Structure 1
Amino acid sequence: MTDLQIEKVELFKVPPRWLFLKITTKGGLVGWGEPVVEGKASTVQACVHELSKFIIGRSANDIEDIWQTLYAGGFYRGGPILMSALSGIDQALWDIKGKHLNVPVYELLGGAVRQRMKMYCWIGGDDPQVVLEQARQKVNDGYQAVKMNATGAFGWIDSLAKVKIVSENIRLLREEFGDTLDIGLDFHGRIHKGMVKRLIDELAPYYPMFIEEPVLSENNEALDQIYPYTSIPIATGERMFSRWHFKELLHRGTVDIIQPDLSHAGGISEVRRIAAMAEAYDVALAPHCPLGPIALASCLHVDFNSINAFIQESSLGIHYNKGFDLLDYMNNPEVFELKDGYVNLLKGPGLGVEMNEDKLKEAQKIGHDWSNPIWRNYDGSFAEW
């Protein structure tokens, strides 16, 4: 029997803005995780080191007890840093257990409920003016669904001209692709409550697949007024970090799609629990994932096992990834091959992703110090990015 005692924890901070975790057992099994907060990679790296003392010497089989210990063992709980560090550790432990038993992770969760998962990717960046050109490219690549930022910087109450720009972009996509392309619009928390309904009025004729983060998650009570105003599905959750954050939102009944991030919301263990909670409220799952291959694989294993999962985000080709993209650190990029807009069931043991450690070590020499931009309105006041 392979010795599953955790012996070593290593971290690789690599471009474009990623942090990878490698856990090695005494018997030589390796598990990979992706513990990172975009813009706070070094802080999460320090947190993983702090948590390592609680897992070195433990059996990698003890996933749930380790999760509970790392979450509840400190007096202060939750938040993006701790939960992201815990997420990466949890991903790596599931990877090890799957490899130990020679089965994919979704088999350990109870088996697959689907054979393929619909995917979407980003078009445009923070300037939505290029969406038509990029949408054509993504459709040529085989995608049937895309998402774009709805706006640039937006004031608390802003001009009609800016509102019209938002609707013009999706109008161009509808004219080009008709109803054959699903289009998600990410408000990115940039819009304050006073402008949301006006934007919805402009967007409704073009039937977005969903509106994401119409307000910041700390203002979720505003969804009490926004949700009944529109038939467009409302999505949120990328900045919510545990089932305890999601339970109030689900109880209020003001969300249609939850978007927990597998690298921020407690990893595979916690997001599978959140997915089950959402199922009980008849709410769909679409995990947030603008990160790397381990995060994406973790999302897919939960998707394959969760009946309410309907679409999965991928960062392939996203504007953040200039010079270093999703597949560049993998030995088996074919597992994410897109076929008719879907990725097929992952078949390899564990997470099914084989990392190229030589490339990681080279890229670690470059490292990164990524942080999101700071935006300001025309009058000089701070604007949400």
Structure 2
Amino acid sequence: MSFPIKITGVKTVVVNAELRNWIFVKVETDQDGLYGWGEASLNWKTRAVTGTVEDLTPLVLGQDPRDIEHILRILNKHSYYRLGIVGATAISGIEHALWDIFGKSVGLPVWRLIGGRTRDKVRVYTHLGLGDMRSVYETFDEGALRDKALAVVEKGYDALKVVFIPYSGFSVDIPSRRHVGRLMRVLREAVGDRVDIMIDFHGRPASIAAALQFIEELAPYAPMFCEEPVLPGDTEALRLVTERAGCPIASGERLIGFKEFEPLFRQNALHIVQPDLNHTGGILEGKRIAAAAEQAFMGVAPHNPNGPIAGAAALHFDVSTPNFVIQEEMSGAVPWYDDVVSVPMRRTGSYWAVPEAPGLGVEINEAEAAKHPFVQEPFHTQGAVLPDGTIADW
């Protein structure tokens, strides 16, 4: 479409997916039938994000949705106060929808507009439980770990992620370290060497020494990477862990925008960056991060435990990004997933196919979505307490 297009409205649709709320963002235009979908889901911040989208909407009304860089500058610079993770997530959802509109307006998939094809298929991994969040965060038993891992492999995946690092302080007792080693050994023996294993530390170790003690137990079993071994924000600590670890280190899901990633590249602080396109500012900001990562000899493995539109946005990013490594995905997280949303992700084994539909290739059934309204998500952080009662990082 060569004629002007104007944004006429922005709205959110919240869908409760049991242990999290999906926040879908719909950007409407003055062209009949031309609209875009994005996602701005953020754990335990649903009302904050939807309110922020509402607050930002007046800034984009009347703008041409295809002028994405221009609109992003408006949203970031005319907000005056720095927006933080809530604002960046709201902007990400709006930005996804703008790309969806742009692709539909020219009849092309988004990946064609952000660099074109760099691969023929996109490798993905999932978590224990195949989308069941209870399995993701509560598998510390050796037998349950083995069974759930084998169930993932039986579904065709050749890569999976686990979270079995205990809540930790500044030091780690020997039994806790040995238990992590046993869990990793059981897991590797169960799935064999042809399946990649990633271990998410969730930033639980409170010191470099504690992180390295756990990594020492894991490294002999060749993890694909250890994720977020220390809390984000301390680049020097992450660099020291990376230098001493006997395996690849990944991090980045909680960072916002290129500015927060830049020190990691400058200091060679890790091996794989994990921007979340749902939180870091959107697809365009993700491309900037990926380009800088490539110059620093780092791969990109986007974080995404979010909803279906976030997965679609990640798919288009992955197709067009040369230093992409592997994609986290959570498809099928609820039984009615396909009733609410149609998505372009089509999995064969451990790969998504390259989509060809215009835009992001997503459609929401708003009538079905309305059957699953907002519910306060459960806080599964109660166990993040040390034996003496000290609150630990979840």
Class of the TM-score when normalised by the shorter of the 2 chains: over 0.9
Q: Which moved more, 1:75-84 or 1:90-99?
A: 75-84
Unaligned runs of 5+ in 1: none
Q: Quote the Cα distance in structure 2 between the aligned partners of 1:369 and 1:19.
A: 13
Letter in 2 for 1:39: W
Q: How many pairs align? A: 377
How far the C-alpha of 1:3 sits from its partner, in A, is 5.5
Q: Secondary structure at the match of 1:383?
A: coil
Q: Deviations over 1:216-250 (max 9, x none)?
A: 10233212321111231110000001000000111
Letter in 2 for 1:151: I
Q: Secondary structure at the match of 1:217?
A: coil
Q: Quote the Cα distance in structure 1 between the aligned partners of 2:162 and 2:116.
A: 33
Q: TM-score, normalised by structure 2?
A: 0.92
Call closer, same or farther: CA 1:157–1:190 in 2, change over 3 Å. same
Q: Quote the Cα distance in structure 1 between the aligned partners of 2:157 and 2:53.
A: 36
Letter in 1 for 2:340: Y
1:154 aligns with 2:165: no
Q: Quote the Cα distance in structure 2 between the aligned partners of 1:10 and 1:76.
A: 23
How far the C-alpha of 1:73 sits from its partner, in A, is 1.6
1:380 aligns with 2:381: no
Q: Is the 8 A contact 2:235 2:263 kept in 1?
A: no
Q: Quote the Cα distance in structure 1 between the aligned partners of 2:304 and 2:222.
A: 23
Q: Deviations over 1:147-200 (max 9, x none)?
A: 011323223312211112211112112112221110000000111223111111
Q: Is the 8 A contact 2:12 2:50 kept in 1?
A: yes
- Residue 347 of structure 2 is matched in structure 1 by 338
Unaligned runs of 5+ in 2: 129-134
1:190 aligns with 2:204: yes
Q: Is the 8 A contact 2:39 2:309 kept in 1?
A: yes
Q: Quote the Cα distance in structure 2 between the aligned partners of 1:173 and 1:229.
A: 24
The partner residue of 1:368 within 375, 379, 383 is 375
Q: Quote the Cα distance in structure 2 between the aligned partners of 1:354 and 1:164.
A: 48
1:38 aligns with 2:50: no
Q: Secondary structure at the match of 2:60?
A: coil
Q: Is the 8 A contact 1:262 1:287 kept in 2?
A: yes
The partner residue of 1:19 within 10, 18, 23 is 23
Q: Is the 8 A contact 1:142 1:338 kept in 2?
A: no
Q: Secondary structure at the match of 2:59?
A: coil
Identical aligned residues as a percent = 36
Q: Deviations over 1:316-356 (max 9, x none)?
A: 35xxx45665x45223x5x3232131001011110012222
Q: Quote the Cα distance in structure 2 between the aligned partners of 1:19 and 1:290.
A: 13
Q: Deviations over 1:252-305 (max 9, x none)?
A: 001110001011000111111111111111110010000111101111111111
Q: Is the 8 A contact 1:3 1:25 kept in 2?
A: no
Letter in 2 for 1:368: V
Q: Quote the Cα distance in structure 2 between the aligned partners of 1:116 and 1:292.
A: 21
1:310 aligns with 2:325: yes
Q: Quote the Cα distance in structure 2 between the aligned partners of 1:83 and 1:210.
A: 27
The partner residue of 1:245 within 251, 260, 277 is 260
Letter in 2 for 1:20: F
1:121 aligns with 2:126: yes
Q: Is the 8 A contact 1:3 1:26 kept in 2?
A: no
Q: Quote the Cα distance in structure 2 between the aligned partners of 1:110 and 1:336.
A: 19
Q: Quote the Cα distance in structure 1 between the aligned partners of 2:233 and 2:115.
A: 34
Q: Deviations over 1:88-141 (max 9, x none)?
A: 000000000000101000100121100100000011422232321111111111
How far the C-alpha of 1:311 sits from its partner, in A, is 0.3
- Residue 73 of structure 1 is matched in structure 2 by 78
- Residue 211 of structure 1 is matched in structure 2 by 226
Q: Which moved more, 1:100-109 or 1:370-379?
A: 370-379
Mapping of residues 255-274 of structure 1, within 5 Å:
255-274=270-289
Q: Deviations over 1:38-73 (max 9, x none)?
A: 110110111111100001111111111000111122
1:283 aligns with 2:298: yes
Letter in 2 for 1:289: N
How far the C-alpha of 1:369 sits from its partner, in A, is 1.4
How far the C-alpha of 1:371 sits from its partner, in A, is 5.2
The partner residue of 1:226 within 228, 235, 241 is 241
The partner residue of 1:300 within 315, 326, 338 is 315
Q: Is the 8 A contact 1:240 1:260 kept in 2?
A: yes
